[in-house]
Amino acid sequence: MEISLVRHGKSQWSDNKLITSREFKNWVQNYDNSGVFEEKSYPLETLEKIAAAKLVMTSDLTRSVESAKLLNSNIQMISNPLFRETELPIPFRKLGRLKVKASTWAIVLRCLWFSGYSNGCESLTEAKKRAEQAAILLVKCAKEYENVVLVGHGFFNMLIAKELKKLGWTGARRTSSKHWAATTYLLKKKVL
| Domain residue extents for the chain | 2-186
pLDDT in tens, the chain (192 residues): 999 999 999 999 888 899 998 888 889 899 988 999 999 999 999 999 999 999 999 999 999 999 999 999 888 899 999 999 999 998 777 777 889 999 999 999 999 999 999 988 999 999 999 999 999 999 999 999 999 999 999 999 999 999 999 999 999 988 988 999 999 999 876 544
Rg, C-alpha atoms of the chain: 17
pLDDT in the model for residue 25: 85
pLDDT in the model for residue 192: 45
Calpha distance 100→74 (Å, rounded):
42
Any idea which fold 2-186 has?
Rossmann fold (3.40.50)
Pairing of strands 147-152, 2-7: parallel
pLDDT in the model for residue 97: 82
